[in-house]
Structure 1
Amino acid sequence: MTTLQLIASLTPIISVMVFLVLLKLPASKAMPISMVATGLAAIFIWQMDTRMLAASIVEGLLSALTPLTIIFGAVFLLNTLKYSGAMDTIRAGFTSISADARVQVIIICWLFGSFIEGSAGFGTPAAIGAPLLVLLGVPPIAAAVVALIADSTSVSFGAIGLPVLFGMEQGLIQNGVSMATEQITAHGGNFANYAQFIAMHIITIDLITGSLIPLVVVCVLTGFFGKNKSFKEGLQIWKFALLAGFAFTIPAWLINYLAGPEFPSVIGALIGMAVVIPVAQKGWLLPITPWNDFADNEQLSQDITTEDKPVEARFSQIAAWSPYIIMAALLVLSRIVTPFKTWLTGFNISWTGLLGTELKASFATFYAPGIFFILVCVVGFILFRMKPKAIKQSITVSCGSMLPTIISLGASVPMVKIFLNSGANSAGLQSMPVALADLLANTMGSVWAWVSPIVGIFGAFLSGSATFSNMMFSGLQYSVADNIGMSHALALALQGIGANAGNMMCVMNVVAAATVVGMAGRESEIIRKTMPISLGYALVAGTIAVIWGGF
């Protein structure tokens, strides 16, 4: 690979870093520029087939429909709660558990978010958790950052184990045959058994890395967004934070050991909430004085929490929470009840042979979480007896907030597709991600335990999906492990952990989180806060692997 080709393959990353992070342009401007730069580099340097490039753009636009519906649904639900007055009841309920914002963040983002991640995936936890925090008075930017960081450890088992069970299985297949046939045979001839073995490595490492995430989250909350900018104020609840970490990771470890990777996040989160919420209510392991001291909190959260807020009634906690309860129930049922799942997936819209290529795209109209959001909003109209004016406000405000997100995702997803489909070229090159990964493997094999999770981050950062990151790079991780004598399962586990860490900073998730809290245009600020945590997560995991694997 020549220097120019290396630059071309790095164009998506360089462009996003320069325009979004360094120049601090809003994603609605940075992502279209980055897409154009990537397209030009693909054509003139990588010599990508122009028809494949055009088809990739179409594929990306169609693929963006799923995250866009999820984001719209999350915003719609937030505004339904806002204009019905149910938000006041929800806020009061969490305050009754604890008035401490640090505790609220752990319960909502780490535990409840892990339950949603295990049920649905699709970046849904941040889309639900961040607005809930805003309702409780957490500044919108802070809410987006901590929700993204918290949505990490549980991603391995997200969407009923999809990243491991599907992502890694597909990533290991070459020419119709799995590279891991020998390993699969050694585990009973069933990939699900081998996936469980890989997942045991993931969750074992996360007994350390994952269990620290609640403490990291509260330190970020107080250190970056507190009035005193004090990390010490986060460390004050270290006992409670570690309890919350282990209350999820230990049950998740046991569930994976006993039953496999489908339900560790779902059941681990439920057990965690059952343990942590009573402790919070009793005030055990917590300082006497609650912490809720944000910098410029009132100004930052005004647009979302107080503007035009009609208070029509006070609802019971069950009534106010019923949209989320119904949402969670629908997500779980749609993933585990086969007849229901089959019926929902029967309504998929598929496009094949895009512009005469082998590319295809699909939109899970009923199976994607977006439709569930909209359904529970309609239920909310009825349950909360919303007046026509309030209903109209919730709809118009939600629609009006979507334009920057449509532009951002409408550019970022096609950019990723160009990057991934660049293997169709006249220069005889592999696709850009494969070429980059090969370069890393050839030059950094001796320190692969640290590089491996970075590759996983790289895949998730660009694709917006831990599952897709695993699909892209599991084969590479397996091959490198072969070459350097590393445990295959450990290399794949590091790939999975890196993909989880990348979930904190991937453009699609950041755009979604910023949008649902009314902060579209400030994505660069979010990434600058989550990126160090993501890289630190990977570094700690790699160090554990070095000690574990004897490198």
Structure 2
Amino acid sequence: MVLAAYQQDYSPVADSLGLSSLVAVLPLLVLFVLLGVLRVRAWLASLVGLAAALVLAVAVSSMPVGDALDSAALGAAFGFFPIMWIVINAIWVYNLTVETGHFDVLRRSFASISDDQRVQAIIIAFSFGALMEALAGFGTPVAISSVMLIALGFKPLKAATVALVANTAPVAFGALAVPITTLSGVTDLPVNHLGAMVGRQTPVLALFVPLALVLIVDGRRGLRQTWAPALVCGFTFAVFQYLSANFWSVPLADIIAALASALAVLAFTRVWQVSEAYQEREADGPGEGPTPALAGGGPGAQRRPAEPDAPWEVVKAYVPYLAIIVVFVLATRVPAITGTAPAKPGQHGTGLERVTQIVRWPGLHITKASGDPVATTFKLNYLSAAGTLLLIAGLLTLVLVQIGPRRTLRAYGRTLVQLRTAIVTVMLVLGLGYVMNESGQTTTLGLWVAGAGGAFAFLSPILGWLGVAVTGSDTSSNSLFGALQITAAHQAGLSPTLMAAANSSGGVLGKMISPQNLAIAAAAVGYEGREGVLFRRVFGWSVAFLAFMCVLVCLQSTPLLDWMVVPTP
């Protein structure tokens, strides 16, 4: 027997959207206050936030207890697969390189480009991080970039801060533009139009992010001494992201921009030298504590600063990342391998999607206020999931660099122990997000913001920012608010394409404050439980960049910059 469906009510408090929004935002306030003000451990803050969301869903939104708990369980499941499945295998690949000493070689290779940590931050956190975002997303670039920076001598919290702030401009086109294709699916606007519009917003942001990174690393002195390579990196990335998104390929926008920016910095450093190279040599800063032995500390690690590495050793150090690129390109761009994913429960795909299953989450039956059903399915794409592709790349690495099974299992076990707190935190955060989504609390907040009329052009990116802050995913945020954005655009007489794109472009700035990403970054650098410190370090950057994006979108809605807007078909 099928139970009666729960129907969402977007104005459950006194039939007032405003009052209902004040109540709906409470779980987020609880989470961020506990995390950023009271400095509570992320897993505990997430647990309390989830409890608050469950209580409000049941007591205020009249959601049945079973549906509320089922929604939390669905979110927790999604938090583990595919999100933490990606991070586990990404960190495992890294730990393999540490176990064999190849990561030290990779560190020296990157250091040979420049011995200045400010330039290294640009290349690794921004350019290389953008490449990882393009291929995998979901926290992978933050995890890998953080540990690579530590290997170059960065303090752990600074490394994590730099990686989080860098993971902005590339996010909208991450995982081969999955956020854009998702946005297209919920808005019925063409992918190319949406990609082109986002490609006229995030490249402007990309101009400033590398400058922010050198400011984080070394303050005003860093900005004064290394603004040139930072500007070269940001400008090159911006130009190629714009060109690819508008004229070449939306899915490949980040890959092209990341490689172009890295090559541009490499070429620039051959003709430009910083007057005073920066290396952080002083004792640990306030709140840093002892540096954990995460990078270059494995049993196979060797430090030979005076001897150049053999060419073959350098090649082997890059093999894991080359394997990741090759596997992801083949699995996402070759039709015979990619196949077609099933669209509904019971259908079967082709290629890697042949074993994919889409199942209805047991006991969960929800409809929107309009009566349309809310999707409550769970996708088990065993082979095509980014985490599985990372696992395949790791197994390929084992063969190519000849790593034995004992080392492999030891590295995987250490990875699971290292990420145990992050796994719990991410599952709790996604549980919270799904309870808010399925109960209608998130839509309540969106409808309230959408009622701003013409001012909605300024507020539109905030919706995307809020969605990513809750879910940790620009894809999820676009799925939540994409249709709402174009409905509000029609009501306010604004461009639907502009408002839909603003959701994705604003969303990228919520990534750095998402508890999910904070937990991943903290776990990657060995600082589980100190997510609140990271939150306080990046929150100002998130809000500052968001304000910039709000102003840009607002100006694009006026005659001053409306020439930048892609016409809605």
TM-score range, shorter chain: 0.7 to 0.9
Deviation at 1:23, TM superposition (A): 1.2
User: Does structure 2 retain, via aligned residues, the 8 Å contact 1:255–1:264?
Assistant: yes
1:488-527 maps to which residues of 2 (within 5 A)?
488-527=496-535
SS of 1:355 mapped into structure 2: coil
Deviation at 1:471, TM superposition (A): 1.6
1:334 and 1:549, CA in 2 relative to 1: closer, same or farther beyond 3 A?
Answer: same
Letter in 1 for 2:199: I
Letter in 2 for 1:289: E
The aligned counterpart of 1:355 is: 363
The aligned counterpart of 2:291 is: 301
1:347 and 1:105, CA in 2 relative to 1: closer, same or farther beyond 3 A?
Answer: farther
Q: Distance in 1 between matches of 2:537 and 2:449?
A: 26
Structure 1 gap ranges (5+):
173-177, 179-190, 223-229, 423-430
Q: How many residues align?
A: 513
Q: Distance in 1 between matches of 2:133 and 2:419?
A: 23
2:443 equivalent among 434, 449, 453: 434
Q: Distance in 2 between matches of 1:146 and 1:312?
A: 26
Using the TM superposition, name which of 518-527 and 347-356 deviates more.
Answer: 347-356
Structure 2 gap ranges (5+):
1-10, 304-308, 340-350, 366-374, 560-569
User: Does structure 2 retain, via aligned residues, the 8 Å contact 1:344–1:367?
Assistant: yes
User: Does structure 1 retain, via aligned residues, the 8 Å contact 2:421–2:528?
Assistant: yes
1:218 equivalent among 190, 214, 219: 214
The aligned counterpart of 2:267 is: 278
User: Does structure 2 retain, via aligned residues, the 8 Å contact 1:8–1:38?
Assistant: no
Deviation at 1:220, TM superposition (A): 1.6
The aligned counterpart of 1:365 is: 382
1:185-334 maps to which residues of 2 (within 5 A)?
191-192=189-190, 195-222=191-218, 230-280=219-269, 282=270, 284=272, 286-293=273-280, 296-297=283-284, 300-305=290-295, 307=297, 309-311=299-301, 316-334=313-331
SS of 2:379 mapped into structure 1: strand
User: Does structure 2 retain, via aligned residues, the 8 Å contact 1:55–1:359?
Assistant: no
The aligned counterpart of 1:426 is: none
1:37 equivalent among 27, 31, 52: 52
SS of 2:293 mapped into structure 1: helix
1:528 and 1:27, CA in 2 relative to 1: closer, same or farther beyond 3 A?
Answer: same
1:401 equivalent among 418, 423, 426: 418
SS of 1:362 mapped into structure 2: strand
The aligned counterpart of 1:146 is: 162
User: Does structure 1 retain, via aligned residues, the 8 Å contact 2:73–2:431?
Assistant: yes
Q: Distance in 2 between matches of 1:163 and 1:544?
A: 20
Q: Distance in 2 between matches of 1:292 and 1:211?
A: 25
User: Does structure 2 retain, via aligned residues, the 8 Å contact 1:102–1:234?
Assistant: no
Q: Distance in 2 between matches of 1:296 and 1:47?
A: 55
1:453-464 maps to which residues of 2 (within 5 A)?
453-464=461-472
User: Does structure 1 retain, via aligned residues, the 8 Å contact 2:462–2:550?
Assistant: no
SS of 1:351 mapped into structure 2: strand
Deviation at 1:127, TM superposition (A): 2.3
Using the TM superposition, name which of 461-470 and 506-515 deviates more.
Answer: 506-515
Q: Distance in 2 between matches of 1:221 and 1:450?
A: 31
Letter in 2 for 1:160: L
1:312 and 1:290, CA in 2 relative to 1: closer, same or farther beyond 3 A?
Answer: closer
The aligned counterpart of 1:15 is: 30
User: Does structure 2 retain, via aligned residues, the 8 Å contact 1:20–1:27?
Assistant: yes
User: Does structure 2 retain, via aligned residues, the 8 Å contact 1:165–1:261?
Assistant: no
SS of 1:287 mapped into structure 2: coil
Matched, 1:452 2:460: yes
1:485 equivalent among 468, 493, 517: 493
The aligned counterpart of 2:95 is: 79
User: Does structure 1 retain, via aligned residues, the 8 Å contact 2:118–2:222?
Assistant: no
User: Does structure 2 retain, via aligned residues, the 8 Å contact 1:416–1:462?
Assistant: yes
Q: TM-score, normalised by structure 2?
A: 0.84
Q: TM-score, normalised by structure 1?
A: 0.87
Deviation at 1:234, TM superposition (A): 3.2
1:235 and 1:256, CA in 2 relative to 1: closer, same or farther beyond 3 A?
Answer: same
1:420 equivalent among 429, 437, 443: 437
1:395 and 1:160, CA in 2 relative to 1: closer, same or farther beyond 3 A?
Answer: closer
Task: Determine what percentage of the aligned residue pairs are the same residue.
Answer: 23
Matched, 1:547 2:555: yes
Q: Distance in 2 between matches of 1:296 and 1:396?
A: 32
Q: Distance in 2 between matches of 1:308 and 1:111?
A: 26
The aligned counterpart of 1:182 is: none
How large is the Cα RMSD of the aligned pairs?
2.4
User: Does structure 2 retain, via aligned residues, the 8 Å contact 1:62–1:363?
Assistant: no
1:333-344 maps to which residues of 2 (within 5 A)?
333-342=330-339, 343-344=351-352
The aligned counterpart of 1:69 is: 85
Deviation at 1:529, TM superposition (A): 1.9
Q: Distance in 1 between matches of 2:243 and 2:298?
A: 48
SS of 1:208 mapped into structure 2: helix
Letter in 2 for 1:247: T
Structure in which a larger fraction of residues adopt helix: 1
Deviation at 1:330, TM superposition (A): 0.9
Letter in 1 for 2:252: F
